[in-house]
Amino acid sequence: MKALYDLTPFTLLDYPDIPAAIFWFVGCNLRCVYCYNPDIVFGEARIEEEEALSFLAKRRGLLEGVVLSGGECTLYPNLIPFCVKIKALGYTIKLDTNAMRPDVIASLIAQGLIDYAALDYKAPEAKMSEICAGGSEKRFWESFHLLRESGIDYEVRTTLHPGLLNEDEIVSMAKALKHEGYDRAYYVQLFREGSETLGVLDPVGRRVDCEKLARYATLRT
Ligand code: SF4
């Protein structure tokens, strides 16, 4: 079965402390205006599962982890058996997810198939439809609670385009996370101009108050 749009054979940046490959799953259930990956969101799968697994089999000893990214990997209908095969090859798995499929996240956790998760906290509910059509803050919290209770290592992250979210909204999101018992780094990734995006964006017209944000979040540029 064709699963992936692309495969990055090696990264030291995307899986904390582990040399890893990235599997880019095709398609997404959101339409974030700032999305850098319209090709993946609207593309077609090009790489068979068997090809990806055979790649991993050959890289045993060189790589330790696989990042499931996209697009949105939880949409892939064969994800659970695919992850079982990845684990059988001895790899650890990091899930990168927009958090909109808590049912799939629950299955992955229940079957011991993920070792680390990066969860997008896109926006407060009032901003979801403007920033990420199809998104729901309620579903984010469902996914968050599953991970919080699971004992699995995880992180929460937000992309900040200063024309879409302001510093006060980020501070409110950070406080909401803290209120829910989140005591890890909350990563805020600043939107970078220059790439093709899924939606049409106004130019970033103002500087972000990084000093203010740094009191509540860990900034990634
Ligand atoms: S940025 Fe949004 S639209 Fe793009 S892949 Fe991630 S969740 Fe999907």
Looking at ligand 1, which residue's alpha carbon is closest to its atom 5?
71
> In angstroms, what CA-CA distances link 218 with 67, 82, 119, 179?
21, 33, 15, 17
pTM score: 0.95
The sign one gets for the Cα dihedral 54, 60, 63, 67 is positive
Using the predicted structure, report yes or no on whether residue 53 has a pLDDT greater than 90: yes
pLDDT at 62: 96
Using the predicted structure, report yes or no on whether residue 193 has a pLDDT greater than 90: no
Please give the Cα distance from 66 to 53 (Å, whole number): 11
Confidence of residue 194 (pLDDT cuts 50, 70, 90): confident
Q: Which residues contact 161 (CB under 8 A, 6 or more apart)?
A: 33, 34, 131, 191, 201, 204
Q: How remote is the CA of residue 171 from the centroid of ligand 1, in Å?
A: 22
pLDDT at 159: 96
Closest CA to 95 of 79, 85, 81, 171: 79
Residue holding tokens 């398609």? 27
What domains can be seen in the chain, in order of their start residue?
2-220 (3.20.20.70)
Looking at ligand 1, which residue's alpha carbon is closest to its atom 1?
35
Q: Is the CB of 199 under 6 A from ligand 1?
A: no
- 1-40 pLDDT per residue, tens: 898 999 999 999 999 999 999 999 999 999 999 999 999 9
pLDDT at 196: 86
Closest CA to 46 of 80, 15, 71: 71
Angle between helices 137-150 and 102-110 (to 10 degrees): 10
Q: Kindly state the average pLDDT of the residues 106-112.
A: 98
Using the predicted structure, report yes or no on whether residue 169 has a pLDDT greater than 80: yes
Residue 13 sits at φ, ψ, to 5 deg, of: -105, -20
